[in-house]
Amino acid sequence: MKRMLMIVGALTMISTAMVGCKDSAKKTAQQQAETVVVDEKVLMVDGAYVSEGYTQREEGYDWVKVMVTSTAADEITIAIRSREDIKKPTCTLDAVAKKIGDQTYLAELEGKKVTFTFTDKSLAIEAKDEADNSILYYFCSGGASLRGTYEKVNE
């Protein structure tokens, strides 16, 4: 009888451990799946975006490159440089922007709100209030502006 109770006790402990492992494995797999989904949303905007003159840079055309890096699920860093391949950049900006919509981020530049709106293949930069678009000239020399649409490139 004593031996029978020991066997039943051992079987109960083993089955409890097995059920616990299955639940733990399910939770771990679910947590990993949730993490992957979050990471995909964060990584979607990361990359290099260039102005239209980029394809003709070999012929001396001026162009602007915007580098976007996610620093958190709702924050990106933006580094903008123009013509960094041949001469000193004519446009320069380093900023941090916070997510305000599915694909839109907002940065405050010299007291003005500027939006960075992403699609799968492009980035549009403009002031949130159209009257403030002049701030986008501030970061460039020679009359250039950061306002515009930039195409995503694989570099």
Helix (H, G, I), strand (E, B) or coil at 9: helix
Residue 96 placed within a domain = yes
Residue 63 placed within a domain = yes
Residue 19 placed within a domain = no
The pLDDT score that the predictor gives to residue 149 is 97
Helix (H, G, I), strand (E, B) or coil at 56: helix
Residue 9 placed within a domain = no
The pLDDT score that the predictor gives to residue 19 is 52
- Residue 47 token pair: 């990359």
Range of the domain at 98: 47-153
The pLDDT score that the predictor gives to residue 72 is 92
Residue 79 placed within a domain = yes
The pLDDT score that the predictor gives to residue 63 is 87
The total number of structural domains in the chain stands at: 1
Residue 8 placed within a domain = no
Confirm if 57 and 130 have CB atoms less than 8 A apart: no
Residue 5 placed within a domain = no
Residue 86 placed within a domain = yes
What is the C-alpha R_g of the chain? Answer: 26
* Per-position pLDDT tens, the chain of length 155: 555 555 655 556 555 555 555 555 555 555 555 554 444 444 489 999 999 888 888 787 788 999 999 999 899 999 999 876 666 668 999 999 999 998 999 999 999 999 999 999 999 999 999 999 999 999 998 888 999 999 999 86
For tokens 């020399």, name the residue.
141
Residue 118 belongs to domain with CATH number: 2.40.128
Among residues 108, 107, 48, the alpha carbon closest in space to that of 76 is found at 107
Contacts of 69 (CB under 8 A, 6+ apart): 46, 76, 77, 79
